[in-house]
Structure 1
Amino acid sequence: MTLHLVDRNPTVTPAQMVEELVPPEMFHEVSFDSYIPDPDEPSQAAAVQHAREFVAAVDKLVKARGKKGLFSRKSAPAQGVGLYLDGGFGVGKTHLLASIFHSVPGPKAFGTFVEYTHLVGALGFNQCVEYLSNHTVLCIDEFELDDPGDTMVMSRLLTELSGRGVSVACTSNTLPGQLGEGRFAAQDFLREINKLSSVFQTVRVDGPDYRHRDLPPAPDPLTDAELVAIAEADPTATLDDFDALCEHLSKLHPSRYKQLVAGVSKVCIENVHPAANQTVALRIVVLADRLYDASIPVLVSGAKLDEIFTPEMLAGGYRKKYLRATSRLLALSRFAAADA
């Protein structure tokens, strides 16, 4: 019997959301030593050094906090340190962020920007601050702002936690001073954006997308018959119509997408075509991130995976999100081709 994502309706509790704030499986074993800088891109080796220095600064804060605790529990904690790794897609920023996570003492948390905003929504702001305030480090991957509400929430959260001694490491494709640019009236939120900028030391990481180095183009779409045969041959593969899947995603909170694809070996999608609008496209971005985190191959019929986001979408304020999602979907399609 073929499985379908549209038949799944997972639930996620706040406790599960907290437990899942760890690096994706593909980054469980990474380290600074396993990061291989491109010799033609000196910023990559420099980023490794900055990341190591960040870890050293966190260790120093943790030791200082422990010594103060011996004498006075009322001592105000030292300000947390911040590191912001900015660069293009596929240059190893998430690898470095996970390496930071593995190198610092706990309690600690690792999640995407979206996962943290979902956590605030599930726990409430004050409870979220109280829970995270005993952490040594928050690692925030793909720090991007989609609306003014997220700007305010994340600015307040990071400012509050940094003041309590929590250090923050982030990756993004947008410099802190440009957060929200092209998406909403950023000038109306300049004060909040500047608060975020003041938390971080910004380090640029340049280079080509490693997911496309010396690799052929993405495989051509399969026929519907080929796709069905692949799905039917694998009891843990799923098969869905593109429009039906997009409709199903609209009924699920994005915090549930990770559980939606849990335990799936392959995702097969029929009749792929360009997304109807930005709302649909942004849901696909979140799904692509969760599939990539779990290294789940993607096979499709219909249009190519690099045709989901229209030229108009790629020219707008969410351009970087769509390009990242395309990069990841193409990598997952190559996983599928390699397994064939």
Structure 2
Amino acid sequence: MTNPQIVHLTDRNPRVAPEELITALVPPPHFEDVSFSSYRPDPVQPSQSLARDTLESFATRAPKKAGLLGKLFGGSKEQSKGVYLDGGYGVGKTHLLASSWHAHPKPATFGTFVEYTNLIGALGFQKARDALKEMKLVCIDEFELDDPGDTVMMSRLMRELTDAGVKIVATSNTLPGALGQGRFAAQDFLREIQALSDQFDIISIDGDDYRHRGAPTPPEPKTVEEIEAVLDGLDGTVARDDFPALLDHLQQVHPSKYRRLLEDVDVAVWDGITTITNEGVALRFVALVDRMYDTSIAIHNTGLRLDAVFTAEQLAGGYKKKYLRCLSRLTALSSGLEQ
């Protein structure tokens, strides 16, 4: 019998200096050793090999500046400023993005779209932009636009970074021209959206979610007695929380602090899973699961099965892609699947 250390996330409210947000923009531990050579494309999906080869070429080539004659007469094709990798869930986009970060000369940053918007919120646009201008490569995972303000802000940031010579690689489940659809009046912001699209060469990658191969749904919830038996077999740090109380606590902690909130946690135990009906709370929960996925924190729970955590309306609404990605990750973390 082991003796795990039990902590409660509801007792934690970490302090994070804004400058730490820059230094934290590196691939999460699960992707710290990946490479293009360790990526295993599906042989029946040639787009996966093509995406790997294109990104490897982009990440390892030296910058090329067009000469004066090329600029005047078009004799030299300008190299792309960025690569945008579009595809479904679990096809290895983050693996390829992290491989790009590892292969490219430093300094470079790696983070999710939400982490970059949190960075801007913490530092202010000018300071965040100036810090990112010092990078040779900026990697943005799960690129998504949730409101008009983000559209304008990210359009401006990408334009100013690429004008400064910073290379960008982004992944998303949505093509640039479709960003924002279903969330706000995207037609009113077509100029900004098009400016984003113009920064990238677009690569589409096909395939099935490998996290769901052989395990399409999360496991059944455990009883209280089964949870106690699981705890008897664990060591390390276990964060055990009443699920409704955890949801309330997440509203008091800024999402930029969720990585620190989970520091040193190996396993999460959630008692009394319920369906989240408030969309704002649901999106904060998504952000928490994203940070848990970064460090492969296993999940055990009582109450409802994890795929009942969102409402049918949420899964059919404007944030559908976020929720489906979250369910994919919940399945992986609760099933012990290789991620």
- Please report the TM-score for the alignment, with normalisation by the length of structure 2: 0.91
Q: Output one character per residue of 1:255-310: Cα deviation in whole Å (capped at 9) or x when no partner.
A: 01111111011000011011122111111110110000010001110111111111
Instruction: Give the whole-Å Cα distance in 2 for the aligned partners of 1:13 and 1:290.
Output: 18
1:273 corresponding residue in structure 2: 274
Deviation of the 1:153 alpha carbon: 1.2
Aligned AA (1:30): V
Identify the range of structure 1 (205-214 vs 88-97) with the bigger mean alpha-carbon deviation.
205-214
Deviation of the 1:230 alpha carbon: 3.5
Given the superposition, is the C-alpha separation of residues 40 and 79 from structure 1 closer, same or farther in structure 2, using an over 3 Å criterion? closer
Say which of 4, 11, 26 aligns to 2:8. 4
Asked if 1:321 corresponds to 2:325, the answer is no
Instruction: Give the whole-Å Cα distance in 1 for the aligned partners of 2:14 and 2:80.
Output: 36
- What does 1:275-290 correspond to in 2, within 5 Å? 275-290=276-291
1:69 corresponding residue in structure 2: none
Instruction: Give the whole-Å Cα distance in 2 for the aligned partners of 1:192 and 1:243.
Output: 39
How many residues are paired up? Answer: 322
- What does 1:62-73 correspond to in 2, within 5 Å? none
> Would you say the 8 A contact 1:80–1:162 is kept in 2?
no
- What does 1:38-53 correspond to in 2, within 5 Å? 38-53=42-57
- What does 1:207-226 correspond to in 2, within 5 Å? 207-215=207-215, 217-226=217-226
Deviation of the 1:134 alpha carbon: 1.9
Instruction: Give the whole-Å Cα distance in 1 for the aligned partners of 2:292 and 2:245.
Output: 18
Deviation of the 1:53 alpha carbon: 2.2
1:119 corresponding residue in structure 2: 119
SS in 2 for 1:2: strand
Instruction: Give the whole-Å Cα distance in 1 for the aligned partners of 2:135 and 2:80.
Output: 11
Q: Output one character per residue of 1:158-214: Cα deviation in whole Å (capped at 9) or x when no partner.
A: 111111101110000000000000001111111111100000111001100011113
> Would you say the 8 A contact 1:120–1:128 is kept in 2?
yes
Asked if 1:95 corresponds to 2:95, the answer is yes
1:60 corresponding residue in structure 2: 63
> Would you say the 8 A contact 2:277–2:310 is kept in 1?
no
SS in 2 for 1:288: helix
SS in 2 for 1:48: helix
2:81 corresponding residue in structure 1: 81
> Would you say the 8 A contact 1:79–1:164 is kept in 2?
no
> Would you say the 8 A contact 2:298–2:336 is kept in 1?
yes
Given the superposition, is the C-alpha separation of residues 272 and 134 from structure 1 closer, same or farther in structure 2, using an over 3 Å criterion? same
- What does 1:1-340 correspond to in 2, within 5 Å? 2-57=6-61, 59-61=62-64, 81-215=81-215, 217-231=217-231, 234=235, 236-335=237-336
Instruction: Give the whole-Å Cα distance in 1 for the aligned partners of 2:126 and 2:268.
Output: 38
Q: Output one character per residue of 1:121-148: Cα deviation in whole Å (capped at 9) or x when no partner.
A: 1111111121111211100000011111
Deviation of the 1:218 alpha carbon: 2.4
> Would you say the 8 A contact 2:29–2:294 is kept in 1?
yes
Given the superposition, is the C-alpha separation of residues 84 and 7 from structure 1 closer, same or farther in structure 2, using an over 3 Å criterion? same
Instruction: Give the whole-Å Cα distance in 2 for the aligned partners of 1:216 and 1:199.
Output: 36
SS in 1 for 2:39: coil
SS in 1 for 2:268: strand
Instruction: Give the whole-Å Cα distance in 2 for the aligned partners of 1:231 and 1:264.
Output: 14
SS in 1 for 2:284: helix
Instruction: Give the whole-Å Cα distance in 1 for the aligned partners of 2:92 and 2:124.
Output: 33
> Would you say the 8 A contact 1:79–1:166 is kept in 2?
no
Identical amino acids, percent of aligned pairs: 52
Aligned AA (1:317): G
Instruction: Give the whole-Å Cα distance in 1 for the aligned partners of 2:103 and 2:260.
Output: 28
Given the superposition, is the C-alpha separation of residues 334 and 293 from structure 1 closer, same or farther in structure 2, using an over 3 Å criterion? same
Instruction: Give the whole-Å Cα distance in 1 for the aligned partners of 2:284 and 2:235.
Output: 26
Instruction: Give the whole-Å Cα distance in 2 for the aligned partners of 1:107 and 1:234.
Output: 37
Instruction: Give the whole-Å Cα distance in 1 for the aligned partners of 2:130 and 2:11.
Output: 37
Deviation of the 1:227 alpha carbon: 2.3
> Would you say the 8 A contact 1:80–1:165 is kept in 2?
no
Instruction: Give the whole-Å Cα distance in 2 for the aligned partners of 1:205 and 1:107.
Output: 27
Deviation of the 1:217 alpha carbon: 4.0
Deviation of the 1:87 alpha carbon: 0.3
> Would you say the 8 A contact 2:80–2:201 is kept in 1?
no
Identify the range of structure 1 (114-123 vs 172-181) with the bigger mean alpha-carbon deviation.
114-123
SS in 2 for 1:84: strand
- Please report the TM-score for the alignment, with normalisation by the length of structure 1: 0.91
> Would you say the 8 A contact 2:299–2:333 is kept in 1?
yes
> Would you say the 8 A contact 1:79–1:163 is kept in 2?
no
2:69 corresponding residue in structure 1: none
